[in-house]
């Protein structure tokens, strides 16, 4: 779906790092936070639709299905946007299955990935009649065969290939090397296809590959896809039919303006087209970050400025429990002071209130001088921010808001202290062991 020029302009305005403009998808951010408070995650529906549109356009002419990687942002309102655009889901747990179904995503467009699916989770997915299981080990294949047979069901299976390719991204989000826990090597995969008759309740007719996340160069994708394409040819020559190739996710985004230069959707898809040029079946894509990361911001107020012996600390009311990426992966996020504009530039360490030095969003960052109550925007937080949030230091989960061409909707209430403690019990009900 094309978005209006106005909406597109408002997204760019919000990303104006000079801080002169504080509108996001047509919504005034100062006015918004006086209503919903801080910290607060905000997502632009227009920006997400724009990404979906760009990817659909790049895929035109191909038999392709986009399955959003739910782990990037499992919020119901986001999944509903995906469902409305005909997008499916890549899930990794029964919890994600539940969220995808509740949001109206067609089970026929759901694929189930992950190295540790439990038998219970597989049963949920079989009951929901999802499109396909992306299987990652022989043991998983055998368990799925047993469960499908018990239900007299036949399930579609793709084998996740570990192509032993270095995605050249952060080690903690790299998945395609032989030392990683993911997928099976081509020899094991070959054996599974050869022994297909041992799995009468599985249609072993797909290949899957996912080599990592926040990948900024096309070369690793090219290498991985070429290995999968060669294996597909070998399988077809041996008489197997490959109905689907799932190329995973991993396409990177810009976290640091003027520094990160991610490939465009069309160049990424061109790489897929080229590697799979002689393949006529369905192509599945599992983007997470690329669809939503740049459509999200985290708004936070300055609690105080602390002048340390060696550095000035800008202490925000957001913390590592709201956005863990800087402390987990040393990730860079651009940060913009929205309240101040023409003030002198000052070097800050931008930190949260959590009692760990790791609770640091940025070190030595230049910002216009800030004071108590000023509003700060951390950019590119639409993926792997709220979805990885915790209540560490007993800080309730932040509010989440969807904005859309001048309107906003609170799509997740700020957690209350009572909600944060929900489910806890005093140790009164002792059971004899
Ligand atoms: N498919 C599979 C099988 C995956 O494991 C993942 C992500 C994706 C698709 C989506 O990848 P994306 O398009 O979002 O790169 N928490 C980390 C990212 C972990 C990614 C895990 N798997 C971060 O904040 O950078």
Domain definitions of the chain by residue range = 5-43+293-420, 113-287
The rounded percent of the chain whose pLDDT value lies above 70 is: 94
Mean pLDDT of the 160-169 span: 90
The atom number, within ligand 1, closest to the CA of 293 reads 14
Closest CA to 323 of 350, 359, 376: 359
Given a cut of 70, whether residue 3 has pLDDT beyond it is no
The CATH architecture annotation of domain 5-43+293-420 reads Beta Barrel (2.40)
Q: CATH topology of 5-43+293-420 equal to that of 113-287?
A: no
* Distance from Cα 112 to the centre of ligand 1, integer Å: 14
Given a cut of 70, whether residue 68 has pLDDT beyond it is yes
**Ligand 1 within 6 A of CB of 249:** yes
- pLDDT band, very low/low/confident/very high, at 69 (cuts 50, 70, 90): very high
Which structure tokens are listed for 295? 């459509």
Among candidate residues 40, 123, 192, 355, the one labeled active-site is: 355
**Ligand 1 within 6 A of CB of 182:** no
- Would you give the distance in Å from CA 139 to the centre of its chain? 27
**Ligand 1 within 6 A of CB of 385:** no
What's this model's pTM, rounded to 2 decimal places? 0.95
User: Hey, how many other C-beta atoms are within 10 angstroms of the C-beta on 97?
Assistant: 23
CATH fold of the domain at 113-287: TIM Barrel (3.20.20)
Mean pLDDT of the 384-396 span: 98
Residue 421 catalytic? Answer: no
Average pLDDT of the chain to the nearest whole number: 94
The atom number, within ligand 1, closest to the CA of 384 reads 24
Given a cut of 90, whether residue 285 has pLDDT beyond it is yes
Q: What is the pLDDT of residue 22?
A: 87
């Amino acid at each position: 779906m094309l978005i209006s020029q106005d909406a597109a302009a408002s997204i760019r305005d919000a990303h104006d790092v000079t801080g002169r403009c504080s509108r996001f998808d047509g919504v005034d951010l100062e006015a918004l936070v006086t209503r919903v408070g801080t910290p607060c995650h905000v997502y632009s529906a227009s920006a997400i639709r724009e990404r979906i549109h760009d990817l659909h356009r790049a895929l035109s002419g191909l038999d392709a299905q986009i399955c959003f990687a739910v782990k990037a942002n499992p919020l119901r309102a986001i999944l509903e946007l995906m469902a409305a655009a005909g997008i499916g889901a890549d899930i990794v747990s029964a919890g994600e299955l539940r969220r995808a179904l509740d949001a109206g995503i067609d089970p026929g467009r759901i694929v189930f990935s992950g190295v540790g699916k439990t038998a219970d989770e597989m049963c949920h997915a079989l009951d929901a009649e999802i499109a396909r299981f992306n299987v990652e080990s022989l043991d998983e294949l055998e368990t799925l065969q047993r469960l499908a047979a018990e239900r007299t069901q036949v399930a579609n299976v793709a084998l996740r290939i570990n192509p032993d390719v270095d995605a050249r991204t952060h080690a903690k989000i790299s998945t395609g090397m032989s030392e990683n826990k993911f997928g099976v090597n081509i020899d094991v995969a070959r054996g599974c296809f050869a022994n297909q008759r041992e799995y009468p309740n599985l249609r072993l007719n797909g290949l899957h590959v996912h080599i990592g996340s926040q990948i900024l160069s096309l070369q690793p994708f090219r290498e991985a896809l070429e290995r999968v394409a060669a294996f597909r040819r070998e399988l077809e020559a041996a008489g197997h039919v490959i109905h689907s190739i799932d190329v995973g996710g991993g396409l990177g985004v810009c976290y640091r303006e003027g520094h990160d230069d991610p490939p465009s959707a069309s160049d990424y898809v061109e790489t897929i087209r080229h590697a799979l040029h002689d393949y006529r079946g369905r192509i599945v894509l599992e983007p997470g970050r690329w669809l939503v990361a740049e459509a999200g911001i985290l708004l936070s107020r300055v609690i105080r400025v602390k002048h340390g012996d060696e550095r000035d600390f800008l202490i925000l009311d957001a913390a590592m429990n709201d956005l863990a990426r800087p402390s987990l992966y040393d990730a860079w996020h651009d940060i913009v002071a929205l309240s101040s504009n023409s003030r002198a530039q000052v070097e800050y360490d931008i930190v949260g209130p959590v009692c760990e030095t790791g609770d640091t969003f940025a070190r030595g960052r230049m910002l216009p001088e800030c004071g108590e109550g000023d509003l700060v925007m951390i950019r590119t937080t639409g993926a792997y921010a709220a979805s990885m949030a915790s209540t560490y230091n007993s800080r309730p989960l932040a509010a989440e808001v969807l904005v859309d061409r001048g309107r906003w909707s609170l799509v997740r209430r700020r957690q209350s202290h009572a909600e944060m403690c929900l489910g806890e019990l005093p140790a009164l009900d002792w059971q004899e062991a």
